[in-house]
């Protein structure tokens, strides 16, 4: 072996991809496949889509594949054997945490959707990994615990959410860990401008919103994403969750963050400094850019994303969000101000309401009504451990289900 080959081997990163069968999972696999010299897959995980995971196992040859559902894990194991694959199949929730914290692993992409991602993502943090965070719900529901664990275990947390990745790129670079900084004020930052596309229903009237369907909600104008985040984008809850996410990631308060609707999704967010400078990160709306950025940080690697054609883009529009038509944004801002378990309740009630909307058991405009009622009726606390977070999460889910069934 030449010295260069030895050096390359030593610097190959072993990656666990939680949520490999999803939209972020697919974009991550695409970027990783462009850099076989830098990354090897240690594990891919799915909840139940075993066949999709199986195809990825044949193509990307991870050491392990996890399917949470037992029947799916069995089916995948048999299928992989008939295809001559030597990927080992594991099953159950605990296996997610095992592959996220295994000593061989350097980097964990946290791309499970919803609260189900919290425990395995925390396992990666507690094992001191480089954690690429797409699973914003984990940070929303347990931000205090999560960020304390990052500091305590020396993990590196990098944002995948395109807005937060953009903000990270526009903030001054701290040599050790930008996200463990002392707060924005000391860096001369005046405020963050968090951009929102406005979603597929931006131009609809309050009356028209009454009749929208899950299919319409999932047809996002700029981004192709999983169903839950697509509905969140349509209600603007996604921006609310992102407001809370930004507060934790950048050690800031909600009043230092302004939400701006920017329908073209070319600017992914901005940072304003005390001297009046406003830095923006721009690019085509394609998640492979933030994924490649975080994977290689502080280096830069090819992502497969086409160059931004600024002439074809021609114009960039901005408008204020309308919280009367999209009350989820107001509910999330209130939860951010309240703190404690308020964001936990908000997130859990939203997950139940969105699932009911996707199953056509709840109208689009009833989603914020259910969440608002849960937040009014349940009291909040300052959670000292994971169990307190999980209790608040469970109570909010139970009440949201009850409210939906009792209608």
Question: CA-to-CA distance for 214 and 289, rounded, in angstroms?
Answer: 28
Question: CA-to-CA distance for 155 and 388, rounded, in angstroms?
Answer: 23
CB of residue 27 to ligand NDP, shortest distance in Å: 7
Q: Which of 28, 32, 47, 101 binds ligand NDP (CB under 6 A)?
A: 47
* CB-neighbour burial class of residue 32 (10 A; exposed 0-12, middle 13-18, buried 19+): buried
Q: Which does 111 bind (CB under 5 to 8 A by kind): ligand NDP, Mg ion, none?
A: ligand NDP
**Binding of residue 358 to ligand NDP (CB under 6 A):** no
Q: Which stretch binds Mg ion (CB under 5 A): 2-10, 21-29, 154-162, 265-273?
A: 154-162
**Binding of residue 80 to ligand NDP (CB under 6 A):** no
Question: CA-to-CA distance for 336 and 324, rounded, in angstroms?
Answer: 18
In this structure, the strands spanning 64-67 and 88-91 are parallel
Site string for ligand NDP, 202-241 (x = CB under 6 A): ---------------------x-xxxxx------------
Question: CA-to-CA distance for 373 and 308, rounded, in angstroms?
Answer: 43
**Binding of residue 245 to Mg ion (CB under 5 A):** no
Q: Which of 14, 15, 16, 21 binds ligand NDP (CB under 6 A)?
A: 21
Q: Which does 46 bind (CB under 5 to 8 A by kind): Mg ion, ligand NDP, none?
A: ligand NDP
**Binding of residue 161 to Mg ion (CB under 5 A):** yes
Q: How far is CA 75 from CA 19, 22, 67, 94, 276, in A?
A: 18, 19, 10, 19, 58
Residue closer to ligand NDP, measured from CB, 287 or 294? 287
Residue closer to ligand NDP, measured from CB, 232 or 272? 232
Question: CA-to-CA distance for 11 and 314, rounded, in angstroms?
Answer: 42
Q: Which stretch binds ligand NDP (CB under 6 A): 1-9, 77-85, 135-143, 248-256?
A: 135-143
Region 250-289 residues binding ligand NDP, contact defined as CB under 6 A = 287
Q: Which does 137 bind (CB under 5 to 8 A by kind): Mg ion, ligand NDP, none?
A: ligand NDP
Per-residue burial over 158-186, b if 16 or more Cβ lie within 10 Å, else e, is bbbbbbbbbbbbbbeeeeeebbebeebee
Contact 164, 246 (CB under 8 A): yes
Region 284-323 residues binding ligand NDP, contact defined as CB under 6 A = 287
**Binding of residue 137 to Mg ion (CB under 5 A):** no
* CB-neighbour burial class of residue 206 (10 A; exposed 0-12, middle 13-18, buried 19+): exposed
């Amino acid at each position: 072996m030449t010295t260069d080959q030895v050096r390359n081997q030593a610097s190959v990163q072993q990656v666990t991809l939680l949520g490999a069968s999803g939209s972020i999972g697919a974009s991550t696999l695409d970027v990783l496949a462009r850099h076989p010299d830098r990354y090897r897959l240690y594990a891919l995980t799915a909840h139940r889509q075993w066949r999709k995971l199986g195809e990825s196992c044949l193509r990307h040859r991870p050491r392990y594949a996890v399917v949470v559902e037992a029947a799916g894990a069995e089916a995948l194991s048999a299928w992989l054997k008939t295809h001559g694959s030597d990927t080992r199949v594991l099953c159950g929730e605990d296996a997610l945490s095992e592959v996220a914290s295994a000593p061989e692993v350097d980097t964990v992409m946290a791309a499970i959707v919803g609260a189900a991602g919290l425990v395995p993502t925390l396992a990666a943090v507690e094992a001191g990994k480089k954690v690429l965070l797409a699973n914003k719900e984990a940070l929303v529901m347990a931000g205090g615990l999560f960020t304390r664990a990052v500091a305590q275990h020396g993990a590196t947390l990098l944002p995948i959410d395109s807005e937060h990745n953009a903000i990270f790129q526009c903030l001054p670079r701290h040599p050790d860990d930008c996200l463990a900084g002392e707060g924005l004020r000391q860096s001369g930052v005046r405020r963050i401008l968090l951009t929102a596309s406005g979603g597929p229903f931006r131009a609809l009237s309050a009356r028209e919103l009454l009749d929208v369907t899950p299919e319409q909600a999932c047809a996002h104008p700029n981004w192709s994403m999983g169903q839950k985040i697509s509905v969140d984008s349509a209600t603007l809850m996604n921006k609310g969750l992102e407001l809370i996410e930004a507060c934790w990631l950048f050690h800031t308060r909600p009043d230092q963050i302004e939400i701006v609707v920017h329908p073209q999704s070319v600017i992914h967010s901005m940072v304003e400094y005390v001297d009046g400078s406003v830095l923006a990160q721009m690019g085509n709306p394609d998640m492979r850019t933030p994924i490649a950025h975080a994977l290689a940080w502080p280096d830069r690697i090819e992502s497969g994303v086409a160059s931004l054609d600024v002439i074809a883009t021609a114009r960039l529009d901005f408008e204020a969000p309308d919280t009367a038509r999209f009350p989820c944004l107001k509910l999330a801002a209130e939860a951010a101000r309240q703190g404690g378990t308020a964001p936990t309740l908000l997130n859990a009630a939203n997950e139940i309401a969105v699932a009911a909307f996707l199953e056509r058991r709840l109208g689009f405009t009833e989603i914020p009504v259910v969440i608002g009622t849960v937040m009014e009726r349940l009291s909040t606390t300052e959670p000292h451990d994971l169990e307190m977070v999980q209790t608040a999460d469970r109570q909010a889910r139970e009440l949201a289900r009850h409210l939906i069934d009792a209608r």
